[in-house]
Amino acid sequence: MKYLIVYAHPNPKSFCAGIKERVESTIKSKGDEAVVRDLYAMNFNPVLSGADLLSFKNGGLAEDIKTEQDNIKAADIIVFIYPVWWTGLPAIMKGYVDRVISYGFAYRYNESGVEGLLADKKVVLFSTNGTPQDVYEKSGMFDSLNQTSDDGIFRFCGIQVLGHHYFSGPGSVDDSARQEMLNKVEQAISAT
């Protein structure tokens, strides 16, 4: 099984980095292959340009987009790891979605409506947030995040969502609570 890990956090000592490390080690312990795309370390360009838009319809993709699309094509399961900032994806991750998970590659329109072109792919998402869990639960924010990312991006493109796992306030809990969160990450990846 081939995994693609798409990771976005600027702090290499963040809890998201801990999630990435646990995901990688769990995949390797299963004897599977993992390719990691650390968007900050790569200095990924998140800005969708006019030339990018034209290339989606006319071909001639920018090399960085082609590379990322090739990584997606090669993967069976894609793992997204990122913090929730202002109730959404960090800019660099949003730019990855805008530029890579694009028209003609991930979806297209036909006489029946939208056709997801990545139906052979599965995704698991891990997101951290600083807001206390009960605040997001009471406000319905987790449902909103699931609708905008799980439904609005991945299911829209035909990708099967295996789970979206949220970890609230990892910076404000003790090490044993963080370890329990990482154990949940391991369980989720082990189940794929």
Cβ–Cβ under 8 Å, residues 38 and 90: no
Angle at 147 between CA 50 and CA 143, to 5 degrees: 140
How many angstroms separate the Cα of 98 from the Cα of each of 46, 106, 158, 185? 8, 11, 16, 26
pLDDT at position 91: 97
- pLDDT given at position 27: 98
Confidence at residue 174, expressed as pLDDT on a 0 to 100 scale: 85
Nearest to 40 by CA among 87, 79, 95: 95
pLDDT of residue 39: 98
pLDDT at 106: 97
| Helical (H) or strand (E) element with 33 | strand 33-38
pLDDT under 70: residue ranges of the chain: none
What digits encode the pLDDT tens for the residues 122-170?
Answer: 999 999 998 888 888 899 989 999 999 999 999 999 999 999 999 998 8
Distances (CA, A) of 82 to 39, 87, 166: 10, 12, 10
